[in-house]
Amino acid sequence: MKTLLDPIWGWPWTLLIAVASLMFVVATYRPRIAHLAPGARRWLLGLRIVAWSIVLFAMLRPELQFNQTDPRSAKMVVLTDKSRSMTVKDGPGGISRRDWLLQTIDRIRPQLERAGKEVEVQYVEFAEEGSPVERPEGEADGTQTAMGSVLGEYARQAATQRIVRILLLGDGAQRAVPPQDADPRAAATRLAEQNVRIDTVCFGAAGLSDTTLDLIVEDLEVSPTVFVKNTVVVSGKIRVLGGAGREVVVRLLLEDPVAVVGGQTTMKQVAVPLRLTPSRNEEVLPIEMSFVAEEPGEFRLMLEAVPLEEESLKTNNSLTTYLTVLKGGISVAYFDIERAEQRLLRRIDESPHVRLDFKPIRQTPGGAAVTLEPSWFELGKYDVYIIGGVPARIFGAPALERLAKLVEQGGGLLMTGGTYSFGPGGYANTPVADVLPIEMLRTEAQFGETIDESLYYGQTLGMRPTIKGLSHYVMRLDEPARNLERWQALPPLKGANKFVGLKPGALVLAESEEGTPLLVAQDVGRGRTMAFAGYTSFYWYQAGFPEAHQRFWEQVILWLAHKDAQGDQAVWLKLDGRRFRPGQAVPMAMGARDPQSGPLPDADFKIEVTGPDGKKHAVSPQRSPTESLAKFTETAAPGEYKVHVDAMHDGNHIGLGADARFAVVDQDLELHNPAADLALMEELSRITAGSTVTPEELKGYLKKMLEEPINIDFTRVRKLPLWDNLWLLLVFAGVLTGEWWLRKKRGLV
């Protein structure tokens, strides 16, 4: 034990201030008490000097320091990797990494036995977790390399045990799934804080292309929802290791629900196989294939690189996902300029019933017609056409004539407001004027950059359903009793086009609070058309009403396509992905709708997930304001899982429920891409001030390390401050209180 002083301002300044303050106290206090008796003067001056002494004591900040030796025995941990990636034969002479590691352990055994005289040497085999052993032996059979989890356990042990060193031998690649997927760097940081060094020895090559033949399907991308008769585009990536000059055949397979063998549906080829020849031993080949969706339903889709005969690992030659093909989907062609209204209106493409193709129009004053492929206006190509703020001259007369005929033959047409929509856009002198539900004048047409403000409303306009519109399919945002209230809650439109007049038979579905027509609809021949004067409905979305915005525009499209009776399924289910790793959680969302397609937020759901072994799992959902959410976590077994959701409302079943499937990919984490990770091993050593050595250098490194004692006593320093505590404050307060009492008794207060 020893006493230390740590002056608050350094010794010179602290002593100078102490002497000056003492002289000030004596010089100023003695005259004030000179009239008192000698005994009283000595007591008062003495108490004041004691108070000064306490302040000086605190300024010097004295403390007692105790040195304590940690009596616990020290431990050196030798961690050896036993995961399956250690079976890769890229060691000297073609031996496996595991055999290379065991041979290295045998060579350094004398050094480890010598170290055992000073510290406890503990051997630990690790893969998913660490297991102490007498000596490393046996095959590498671990399915994960959870280095972060294992090192984290020793970081926790270091708080109660003396661990002086960790010798980590393996290929350095962290390959683990939750909950074993802890970051090894974080564990190394905690070990460094406890003075535990990690020395690493890496076995294996960072690149395997020269020694291993393997075809790996690394990526598979496809739109999860398409419509019947539409083209499905599938893209992906194939990594080829050790296959330079070898022909690689890539196939696209789709589930055939009719052909069942052994209780399982078979897969049929749906695209012409690709034949590729990589030029390098390690190469990533981009893949793009397509086919036409012929039948509605949910299908398993597989991208496969046909295995080569010499491949030892074939479980990574394919990836699987699921494709939903919808019957009777609505195809929409949309023409508009770049503006906020178009960006959010295009969200209708998110509906499972709508596929939208957007043609951006670059607007310039006096611009010429845009070259549009004839396919845009082929009969049956699109069910609904939307024209935004695009002038008629952009299309040209032939295209607009074909569009008008398509409407009369059963198509739908919507024109939205804008600077160059309706009459101001020059449509009064085109065939489209004959099918839109409003009147237009040729004199409204605007040319150049001059805008006639009298053709537009500049004020805000609250959009409200008319009496007839209140019960119309397009205007249903909520159940009838709350529908008008829902519309009144939406922010007003900021500006709109003025309609000169309405055609006979036109139906006004929505108007402003002052009675200005905003949404007008009409049947034309076998088709339907609609005119929307507004161009700022995106304010609904931005003001926090995205569901209302989306539902309104979806219903507009469904009505124009004569599918207003279709709506969505009574119960819907969405999975956050269709392909997961073993152990990965599967988020899902679900909801229900009433007969008017309105949401039922208080519906009750029963979720059942059937695993690949046929075992059924119940999942409990949680309600949110717009849907119910759930998470399925029992995904340890690879294979196909089936989800079924039943819904009830007020004690009654809703529809037939909803179904979906997902796959837990049977992907061998250890051998999917078993390259060694020397960089990670070096980083772990660097974090803990350790060293990274090669297997050949390890014996010499240990010899050098043993030249110095390993079991150095841990000395813990404990400091006891004498100034920063309660008792000093109490003494100071007591001295001042005593002085005040004496002064008061002598009449000085």
Angular region, 10: left φ>0, alpha ψ -120 to 50, beta rest: left
Note down the domain range covering 239: 214-326
Task: Give the residue-averaged pLDDT of 306-320.
Answer: 85
Residues 385, 386, 390, 391, CA torsion sign: positive
3-class secondary-structure state, position 330: strand
Q: Are 248 and 276 in contact (CB under 8 A)?
A: yes
Residue 123 and residue 108: Cα distance in Å, rounded?
Answer: 13
pLDDT digits (tens, 9 = 90+) for 188-201: 999 999 999 999 99
C-alpha pair distances (Å), 671 with each of 144, 520, 637: 10, 63, 18
- At 294 the pLDDT is 83
Higher pLDDT, 230 or 462: 462
Whether 259 shows a pLDDT value over 80: the answer reads: no
Residue 46 and residue 40: Cα distance in Å, rounded?
Answer: 10
Name the token pair of 44.
């008062």
Same domain, 161 and 231: no
The per-residue b/e assignment along 316-325, b for 16 or more CB within 10 angstroms, e otherwise, is bbbbbbbbbb
Find the range with the poorest average confidence among 107-116, 648-657, 715-724, 726-735: 715-724
Whether 490 shows a pLDDT value over 50: the answer reads: yes
- Please choose, from the candidates 154, 144, 180, the residue with its C-alpha nearest in 3D space to the C-alpha of residue 79: 154
Residues 676, 682, 687, 690, CA torsion sign: positive
- At 523 the pLDDT is 92
Amino acid type, 686: R
* DSSP secondary structure string for all residues of 455-467: GEEEEEE--EE-T
Q: How many residues does the chain have?
A: 749
Beta strand 456-461 with 318-326 is unpaired
**Is there a cis peptide before residue 582, judged by omega within 30 degrees of 0?**
no
- At 371 the pLDDT is 64
Same domain, 158 and 300: no
Q: Does 644 map to a domain?
A: yes
pLDDT band at 426 (very low <50, low <70, confident <90, very high): very high
Task: Give the residue-averaged pLDDT of 674-703.
Answer: 93
Q: Are 494 and 542 in contact (CB under 8 A)?
A: no
Residue 382 and residue 413: Cα distance in Å, rounded?
Answer: 10
Q: Does 357 map to a domain?
A: yes
- At 529 the pLDDT is 97
- Measured in degrees and rounded to the nearest 5, phi and psi for residue 127 equal -150, -95
Whether 394 shows a pLDDT value over 70: the answer reads: yes
Q: Are 323 and 233 in contact (CB under 8 A)?
A: no
Same domain, 122 and 198: yes
* DSSP secondary structure string for all residues of 195-228: T-EEEEEE-S-S--TTT--EEEEEEEE--SEEET
Report the CATH number at residue 97.
3.40.50.410
Whether 499 shows a pLDDT value over 90: the answer reads: yes
Report the CATH number at residue 231.
2.60.40.10
Name the token pair of 34.
């000179």
Task: Give the residue-averaged pLDDT of 429-447.
Answer: 93
Amino acid type, 666: D
Same domain, 112 and 31: no
- At 466 the pLDDT is 95
Task: Give the residue-averaged pLDDT of 727-739.
Answer: 89
Tokens 């889709």 found at: 301
Task: Give the residue-averaged pLDDT of 99-114.
Answer: 94
Angular region, 328: left φ>0, alpha ψ -120 to 50, beta rest: left
Task: Give Cα 599 distance to the centre of its chain.
Answer: 27
Q: Does 566 map to a domain?
A: no
**What residues contact 463, with CB distance under 8 A and at least 6 apart?**
487, 490, 492, 493, 510, 511, 512, 518, 519, 534
Residue 684 and residue 148: Cα distance in Å, rounded?
Answer: 10
pLDDT band at 105 (very low <50, low <70, confident <90, very high): very high
pLDDT band at 550 (very low <50, low <70, confident <90, very high): very high
Whether 142 shows a pLDDT value over 50: the answer reads: yes
Same domain, 548 and 579: no
Higher pLDDT, 702 or 713: 702
pLDDT digits (tens, 9 = 90+) for 242-256: 888 899 999 999 998
Same domain, 39 and 121: no
- Please choose, from the candidates 148, 19, 131, 38, the residue with its C-alpha nearest in 3D space to the C-alpha of residue 80: 131
- At 209 the pLDDT is 47
Same domain, 59 and 83: no
Residue 498 and residue 16: Cα distance in Å, rounded?
Answer: 88
Q: Which of 326, 347, 362 is the last residue of a domain?
A: 326
Identity of the highest mean pLDDT range in 321-325, 480-484, 653-657, 693-697: 693-697
Q: Does 287 map to a domain?
A: yes
**What residues contact 227, with CB distance under 8 A and at least 6 apart?**
293, 325, 326, 327, 328, 329, 331, 355
Same domain, 417 and 442: yes
Residue 555 and residue 282: Cα distance in Å, rounded?
Answer: 52
Q: Does 565 map to a domain?
A: no
pLDDT band at 381 (very low <50, low <70, confident <90, very high): confident
Q: Are 465 and 449 in contact (CB under 8 A)?
A: no
C-alpha pair distances (Å), 221 with each of 37, 301, 693: 101, 11, 42
Angle at 14 between CA 11 and CA 17, to 5 degrees: 145
Whether 327 shows a pLDDT value over 80: the answer reads: no
- At 578 the pLDDT is 87
pLDDT digits (tens, 9 = 90+) for 410-424: 999 999 999 999 999
pLDDT digits (tens, 9 = 90+) for 602-628: 899 999 999 999 999 999 999 887 789
pLDDT band at 566 (very low <50, low <70, confident <90, very high): very low
Beta strand 501-502 with 264-269 is unpaired
**What residues contact 59, with CB distance under 8 A and at least 6 apart?**
7, 8, 9, 14, 17, 18
- At 596 the pLDDT is 63
The per-residue b/e assignment along 279-294, b for 16 or more CB within 10 angstroms, e otherwise, is eebbbebebebebebe
Whether 589 shows a pLDDT value over 80: the answer reads: yes
* DSSP secondary structure string for all residues of 692-726: EE-TTTHHHHHHHHTTS-S-PPPEEEEEEESSSSH
Same domain, 189 and 245: no
Same domain, 384 and 355: yes
Task: Give the residue-averaged pLDDT of 17-43.
Answer: 87
Report the CATH number at residue 495.
3.40.50.880
Q: Which of 502, 526, 560 is the last residue of a domain?
A: 560
Same domain, 35 and 162: no
**What residues contact 578, with CB distance under 8 A and at least 6 apart?**
224, 321, 322, 661, 662, 663
Whether 548 shows a pLDDT value over 80: the answer reads: yes
Report the CATH number at residue 607.
2.60.40.1930
Q: Are 719 and 232 in contact (CB under 8 A)?
A: no
Q: Does 57 map to a domain?
A: yes
Q: Does 243 map to a domain?
A: yes
Name the token pair of 351.
């509906």
Q: Are 267 and 304 in contact (CB under 8 A)?
A: no
Q: Does 80 map to a domain?
A: yes
Whether 567 shows a pLDDT value over 50: the answer reads: no
Q: Are 535 and 548 in contact (CB under 8 A)?
A: no
pLDDT digits (tens, 9 = 90+) for 220-240: 888 887 777 778 889 999 988
Residues 658, 659, 660, 666, CA torsion sign: positive
Q: 612: buried, middle or exposed (CB in 10 Å: 19+, 13-18, 0-12)? A: middle
Angle at 347 between CA 346 and CA 348, to 5 degrees: 85
- At 301 the pLDDT is 94
- At 268 the pLDDT is 93
Task: Give Cα 79 distance to the centre of its chain.
Answer: 34
Task: Give the residue-averaged pLDDT of 632-652.
Answer: 91
Task: Give the residue-averaged pLDDT of 114-132.
Answer: 92
Report the domain count for the chain. 5
Higher pLDDT, 335 or 225: 335
C-alpha pair distances (Å), 690 with each of 196, 204, 409: 9, 20, 79
pLDDT digits (tens, 9 = 90+) for 63-72: 888 766 554 4
Tokens 């007008």 found at: 520
Task: Give the residue-averaged pLDDT of 471-480.
Answer: 86
Residue 379 and residue 410: Cα distance in Å, rounded?
Answer: 10
pLDDT digits (tens, 9 = 90+) for 401-412: 999 999 999 999
Same domain, 410 and 518: yes
pLDDT band at 370 (very low <50, low <70, confident <90, very high): low
* DSSP secondary structure string for all residues of 63-79: EEEEEEE--SPEEEEEE
